[in-house]
A and B are shown apart, each in its own frame.
Chain A
């Protein structure tokens, strides 16, 4: 696949307040690098993320969307992320069914102690989306930057 080296994707990362957001913080305090392409949106729990949020992120210009939450079993609200897991599996499967590239969506469990993992995940995800190029299949043409 042709890779446009100059393409800088917009990545939206939904991070749960209790684990992944703290994980992102930790990766910052540890001075670990992750690309500035990643725009973090803090949510109270990964299960707050309505499928519509993910679609809307794509509409408004995201090239990739990643959802991060506490590891299964560690949810601050006991079971939120278990529901997330089922819901997001079905959503991603549906996006795949509609022919949207699989690598534009991802779910990762990142705890508050996993600053290094957060940075690694984001580096990998940005690289993957970069390979895919700009989001064209699930974009709203009206929102494309002129």
Chain B
């Protein structure tokens, strides 16, 4: 797949369709891949990588890149196309300046899942018939491929590309996923259990803002939490309340716009399952206001920008589940 992608990127650069390519760049190890913009075929040959570890969603970078001179080529996995489409819908990305090639998605590997098995000193990871052969400083290790896949891929919602100018490989379908299972499990707990669960998770937060900054839906020029004149700016949670507030507002501000790409949980250095907050909103929207997938199209009205005169009352919260 990598060869096909590189070949196509070089062709489009050569014929002048685009003047830059956004993709992923090889790192020091097999897994530390960085999103990068390439301008020449030589750079692409030397550093472009597309493999089991290229998880990062590059669509947010296109906000800035699409406002530059000339057209940029972007390789988007199915989940990335939703984020891209949503940004186009919000007029954040200049669609005309991006040439989108849809490429196959995951499942991608998450190095943390491998390290969680106690495997350290990782020098190389090879996928042989869905068994990972891991070369380490302390000898060879193996583990099943599917035990090492990223959380966001385990709950994949769609293999379909919702936007592209060209496809490499086959297009897939929207999947029946179990992505709301954990939300449902939490909903069925008592309030005390839910409270304990979230305190346990959110108290780990170090307020690095990675979840916010990586989020393709979080695109405010100046976030309320960074703005000293907002009265609520804070750089660190000085109290558990501030941990709660940051995460409620972060998830709320993208409610109805979050495509469930899973980047927030992927980047969290403390492995907090932040996507569950976003999914709770998605699940509520789906059940209360009708099925809605952000990013699936560029014309529909977002659920929070819309209303029905016979919408349910907030008291519905009291009627559902246990307290």
Residue contact A94 to B251, C-beta cutoff 8 Å: yes
Stretch at the interface among B73-81, B160-168, B303-311: B303-311
Query: Is B239 positioned at the interface, with any CB of A under 8 Å from its CB?
Result: yes
Bound-state Cα–Cα, A142 to B315, Å: 31
Chief secondary structure at chain A's binding surface: helix
Query: Is A56 positioned at the interface, with any CB of B under 8 Å from its CB?
Result: yes
Bound-state Cα–Cα, A85 to B323, Å: 22
- Given known contacts A73-B309, A94-B277, A94-B280, A88 and B194 CB-to-CB distance under 8 angstroms: no
Which A residue's beta carbon lies closest to that of B239? A140
- Given known contacts A89-B314, A107-B315, A97 and B194 CB-to-CB distance under 8 angstroms: yes
Query: Is B145 positioned at the interface, with any CB of A under 8 Å from its CB?
Result: no
Residue contact A99 to B248, C-beta cutoff 8 Å: no
User: Number of B interface residues, CB 8 Å?
Assistant: 49
Query: Is A123 positioned at the interface, with any CB of B under 8 Å from its CB?
Result: no
Q: What are the interface flags for A82-108 relative to B under an 8 Å C-beta threshold, 1 for contact and 0 otherwise?
A: 110111111111111111111001110
Query: Is A79 positioned at the interface, with any CB of B under 8 Å from its CB?
Result: yes
Query: Is A3 positioned at the interface, with any CB of B under 8 Å from its CB?
Result: no
Bound-state Cα–Cα, A90 to B280, Å: 9
Residue contact B248 to A107, C-beta cutoff 8 Å: no
- Which residue of B244, B252, B303 is within 8 Å of A91 (Cβ)? B252
Query: Is B238 positioned at the interface, with any CB of A under 8 Å from its CB?
Result: yes
Residue contact A97 to B187, C-beta cutoff 8 Å: yes
Q: Which residues of A contact B288 (CB under 8 A)?
A: 86, 89
Q: Which residues of A contact B280 (CB under 8 A)?
A: 93-94, 97
Residue contact A99 to B249, C-beta cutoff 8 Å: no
Residue contact A59 to B195, C-beta cutoff 8 Å: no
Chief secondary structure at chain B's binding surface: helix
Query: Is A43 positioned at the interface, with any CB of B under 8 Å from its CB?
Result: no
Q: Which residues of B contact A142 (CB under 8 A)?
A: 238-239
In the complex, how many angstroms separate the beta carbon of B223 from the nearest chain A beta carbon? 12
In the complex, how many angstroms separate the beta carbon of A38 from the nearest chain B beta carbon? 19
Q: What are the interface flags for B232-256 relative to A under an 8 Å C-beta threshold, 1 for contact and 0 otherwise?
A: 1000001111101100110110010
Query: Is B312 positioned at the interface, with any CB of A under 8 Å from its CB?
Result: yes
In the complex, how many angstroms separate the beta carbon of A137 from the nearest chain B beta carbon? 6
Which B residue's beta carbon lies closest to that of A98? B198
Query: Is B192 positioned at the interface, with any CB of A under 8 Å from its CB?
Result: yes
How many of chain A's residues touch chain B, expressed as a range?
35 or more
Q: What are the interface flags for B278-291 relative to A under an 8 Å C-beta threshold, 1 for contact and 0 otherwise?
A: 00110011001100
Residue contact B191 to A99, C-beta cutoff 8 Å: yes
In the complex, how many angstroms separate the beta carbon of B272 from the nearest chain A beta carbon? 13
Q: Which residues of A contact B281 (CB under 8 A)?
A: 90, 94
Q: Which residues of B contact A88 (CB under 8 A)?
A: 314
Which A residue's beta carbon lies closest to that of B242? A140
In the complex, how many angstroms separate the beta carbon of B131 from the nearest chain A beta carbon? 39
Residue contact B307 to A99, C-beta cutoff 8 Å: no
Residue contact A138 to B244, C-beta cutoff 8 Å: yes
- Which residue of B197, B277, B312, B317 is within 8 Å of A99 (Cβ)? B197
Bound-state Cα–Cα, A54 to B286, Å: 24
Residue contact A99 to B196, C-beta cutoff 8 Å: yes
Query: Is B218 positioned at the interface, with any CB of A under 8 Å from its CB?
Result: no
Residue contact A85 to B242, C-beta cutoff 8 Å: no
Residue contact B314 to A83, C-beta cutoff 8 Å: no
What are 17 A-B residue pairs whose CB atoms fall within 8 Å in the complex?
A: A51-B249, A55-B245, A55-B249, A59-B241, A79-B307, A82-B307, A83-B305, A86-B311, A89-B313, A89-B317, A98-B194, A98-B198, A99-B195, A102-B317, A106-B314, A107-B314, A142-B239
**A87-B304, A93-B316, A140-B242 known, 14 other contacts, Cβ within 8 Å:** A51-B248, A55-B248, A58-B241, A72-B309, A79-B307, A86-B288, A86-B304, A86-B307, A90-B284, A96-B194, A99-B197, A99-B199, A102-B191, A142-B238
A residues sitting closer than 8 Å to B (CB atoms) are 51-52, 55-56, 58-59, 72-73, 79, 82-83, 85-102, 105-107, 137-142
